[in-house]
Amino acid sequence: MQEQYLTVAREGVHETEINRSRFLCALAPAATEREAQDFVARVRREHPTATHNCFAYVIGADAAVQKASDDGEPGGTAGVPMLQMLLRRDVRYVAAVVTRYYGGVKLGAGGLIRAYGGCVGEALDAIGTVTRRRYRLATVTVDHQRAGRLQNDLRATGRSVRDVRYADAVRIEVGLPDADVDAFRGWLADATAGTATLELGGEAYGAG
């Protein structure tokens, strides 16, 4: 698995004009291919009179799913350069749609490639990206008496508290970088006088 990846901080649109053509690049985080496809469809509905709505998306921390469409532009001049820009910038779980309103001046193949790829790069800069790091999920089980103090201590030391469940005991789910697991065991034993238990789970990605 990848140790970390970048994704867009939020959904947003960046507009630029090149030789009288308007290019609007819409970006959105997408957890699944279905989410990416739904986003593309929504942008197309918002711009039914546009000359082209080209798209690219990358799903998976390892970029396992990659799709691109030129939507009527000459083959390889729109979707592919958009996709290449996302990959070059190491952005994952993201969908990009570039909507073009033709302004009457032909750009040629090279101009189109620069325009579509460049528009995505500018949008990434304008909207911003966030780093997601790989975490080991771990569940800490502790008695009610110590739970509140432990949650405060976890947050104070910068641990990622992902979920808290109250039952006969309190279960606190945290995200730990793999390298921190052993150190965390020691810290937890000290913080709870050895009364808490730690159960390691699977892996996930979280804000880094």
User: Between 33 and 178, whose confidence is greater?
Assistant: 33
Final residue of a structural domain among 111, 127, 143:
127
What torsion, rounded to 10 degrees, do the Cα atoms 44, 45, 48, 54 define? 0
The whole domain housing 152 covers 133-207
Same domain for 122 and 153, yes or no, is no
Same domain for 18 and 61, yes or no, is yes
Question: Token pair for residue 65?
Answer: 């799913």
Query: What is the rounded average pLDDT of the residues 137-142?
Result: 93
The single residue listed with the structure tokens 């569940």 is: 139
Q: What is the rounded average pLDDT for all residues in the chain?
A: 92
Model pLDDT for residues 148-158, shown as the tens digit of each residue? 999 999 988 88
Q: How many domains does the chain have?
A: 2
Same domain for 115 and 165, yes or no, is no
Question: What's the CATH code of the domain at 65?
Answer: 3.30.230.30
pLDDT of residue 207: 61
Same domain for 143 and 83, yes or no, is no
**Angle between helices 108-127 and 79-88 in degrees, nearest 10:** 40
Same domain for 72 and 121, yes or no, is yes
User: Between 67 and 182, whose confidence is greater?
Assistant: 67
CA distance 7 to 30: 9
Question: What's the CATH code of the domain at 162?
Answer: 3.30.70.240
Same domain for 104 and 139, yes or no, is no
Final residue of a structural domain among 127, 145, 170:
127
Same domain for 137 and 121, yes or no, is no
Sign (positive/negative) of CA torsion 80, 42, 38, 28? positive
